[in-house]
Protein backbone atom coordinates (compact mmCIF):
# COMPACT_ATOMS: atom_id res chain seq x y z
CA UNK A 1 0.00 0.00 0.00
CA UNK A 2 1.25 3.46 -0.91
CA UNK A 3 0.62 6.34 1.47
CA UNK A 4 1.19 9.93 0.39
CA UNK A 5 1.28 12.91 2.74
CA UNK A 6 1.30 16.46 1.42
CA UNK A 7 2.40 19.58 3.26
CA UNK A 8 3.26 23.19 2.57
CA UNK A 9 -0.06 24.72 1.64
CA UNK A 10 -1.29 27.99 3.05
CA UNK A 11 -2.46 31.53 2.39
CA UNK A 12 -0.31 33.79 0.23
CA UNK A 13 -0.76 37.06 -1.59
CA UNK A 14 -0.80 37.22 -5.37
CA UNK A 15 2.74 37.22 -6.70
CA UNK A 16 4.00 35.20 -3.77
CA UNK A 17 5.48 31.71 -3.60
CA UNK A 18 4.84 28.41 -1.85
CA UNK A 19 6.53 25.05 -1.95
CA UNK A 20 4.46 21.91 -1.57
CA UNK A 21 5.96 18.61 -0.49
CA UNK A 22 4.60 15.09 -0.77
CA UNK A 23 6.31 12.22 1.01
CA UNK A 24 5.55 8.61 0.16
CA UNK A 25 5.77 5.59 2.39
CA UNK A 26 6.64 2.97 -0.18
CA UNK A 27 9.51 0.80 -1.31
CA UNK A 28 11.18 1.42 -4.64
CA UNK A 29 9.90 4.99 -4.79
CA UNK A 30 11.89 5.53 -7.97
CA UNK A 31 9.54 3.14 -9.77
CA UNK A 32 6.67 5.56 -9.33
CA UNK A 33 5.82 8.45 -11.59
CA UNK A 34 4.40 11.33 -9.57
CA UNK A 35 1.83 13.94 -10.40
CA UNK A 36 0.38 17.07 -8.87
CA UNK A 37 -3.27 17.89 -9.41
CA UNK A 38 -5.60 20.52 -8.03
CA UNK A 39 -9.30 20.97 -7.46
CA UNK A 40 -10.99 24.31 -7.02
CA UNK A 41 -14.47 24.61 -5.47
CA UNK A 42 -17.14 23.45 -7.90
CA UNK A 43 -14.60 22.19 -10.43
CA UNK A 44 -13.12 18.87 -11.39
CA UNK A 45 -9.65 17.70 -10.52
CA UNK A 46 -7.14 19.06 -13.03
CA UNK A 47 -3.59 18.19 -13.96
CA UNK A 48 -0.86 20.55 -12.81
CA UNK A 49 2.49 18.81 -13.27
CA UNK A 50 4.09 15.38 -13.53
CA UNK A 51 7.54 13.86 -13.25
CA UNK A 52 9.00 10.50 -14.20
CA UNK A 53 10.39 8.06 -11.65
CA UNK A 54 13.98 9.04 -12.23
CA UNK A 55 13.13 12.72 -12.34
CA UNK A 56 14.58 13.20 -15.80
CA UNK A 57 11.40 14.38 -17.47
CA UNK A 58 8.75 16.85 -16.37
CA UNK A 59 5.55 18.18 -17.86
CA UNK A 60 3.25 21.06 -16.94
CA UNK A 61 -0.22 22.34 -17.62
CA UNK A 62 -0.17 25.45 -19.78
CA UNK A 63 -1.71 27.49 -16.96
CA UNK A 64 1.31 26.93 -14.67
CA UNK A 65 4.16 26.47 -17.14
CA UNK A 66 6.96 28.88 -16.36
CA UNK A 67 5.67 29.55 -12.84
CA UNK A 68 5.65 26.12 -11.20
CA UNK A 69 8.47 23.58 -10.96
CA UNK A 70 8.10 19.92 -10.05
CA UNK A 71 11.09 18.03 -8.68
CA UNK A 72 11.79 14.96 -6.61
CA UNK A 73 14.35 13.59 -4.18
CA UNK A 74 14.22 9.81 -4.36
CA UNK A 75 16.51 9.46 -1.36
CA UNK A 76 13.78 11.14 0.69
CA UNK A 77 10.77 9.60 -1.11
CA UNK A 78 9.55 13.13 -1.69
CA UNK A 79 8.21 15.13 -4.61
CA UNK A 80 8.00 18.91 -4.55
CA UNK A 81 6.00 21.58 -6.30
CA UNK A 82 7.61 25.01 -6.21
CA UNK A 83 4.96 27.60 -7.05
CA UNK A 84 6.05 31.11 -7.92
CA UNK A 85 4.14 34.19 -9.05
CA UNK A 86 0.95 32.75 -7.66
CA UNK A 87 -2.38 34.04 -8.92
CA UNK A 88 -5.84 34.01 -7.33
CA UNK A 89 -6.91 31.44 -9.92
CA UNK A 90 -4.33 29.04 -8.46
CA UNK A 91 -6.49 28.75 -5.35
CA UNK A 92 -7.41 25.09 -4.89
CA UNK A 93 -6.77 21.96 -2.92
CA UNK A 94 -3.56 20.46 -4.27
CA UNK A 95 -3.06 16.72 -4.38
CA UNK A 96 -0.07 14.56 -5.16
CA UNK A 97 -0.58 11.20 -6.80
CA UNK A 98 1.55 8.17 -7.64
CA UNK A 99 1.49 5.71 -10.48
CA UNK A 100 3.77 2.78 -11.18
CA UNK A 101 6.27 3.26 -13.99
CA UNK A 102 4.50 5.31 -16.66
CA UNK A 103 3.35 8.85 -16.11
CA UNK A 104 0.03 10.37 -17.10
CA UNK A 105 -1.92 13.62 -17.16
CA UNK A 106 -5.15 11.84 -16.34
CA UNK A 107 -6.13 11.79 -12.68
CA UNK A 108 -8.18 8.61 -13.18
CA UNK A 109 -5.00 6.76 -14.08
CA UNK A 110 -3.40 7.37 -10.67
CA UNK A 111 -4.36 4.79 -8.04
CA UNK A 112 -2.63 6.44 -5.07
CA UNK A 113 -3.49 9.87 -3.68
CA UNK A 114 -2.61 12.09 -0.79
CA UNK A 115 -5.17 13.84 1.38
CA UNK A 116 -4.63 17.23 -0.24
CA UNK A 117 -3.35 20.57 0.99
CA UNK A 118 -5.16 23.89 0.63
CA UNK A 119 -3.54 26.73 -1.29
CA UNK A 120 -5.28 30.09 -1.13
CA UNK A 121 -4.03 33.09 -3.09
CA UNK A 122 -5.46 36.47 -2.19
CA UNK A 123 -5.62 39.36 -4.64
pLDDT in tens, the chain (123 residues): 899 999 999 999 999 999 999 999 999 999 999 999 999 999 999 999 999 999 999 999 999 999 999 999 999 999 999 999 999 999 999 999 999 979 999 999 999 999 999 999 999
pLDDT of residue 47: 98
Quick one: which of 36, 74, 28, 24 has its CA closest to 54? 74
Strands 112-113 and 92-100: antiparallel
Quick one: which of 120, 20, 112 has its CA closest to 71? 20
**Using CA atoms, how far apart are residues 115 and 57, in angstroms rounded to an integer?**
25
Amino acid sequence: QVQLVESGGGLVQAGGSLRLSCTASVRAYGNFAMGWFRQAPGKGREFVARITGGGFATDYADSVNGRFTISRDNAKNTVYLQMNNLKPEDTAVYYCAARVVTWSRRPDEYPYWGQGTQVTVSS
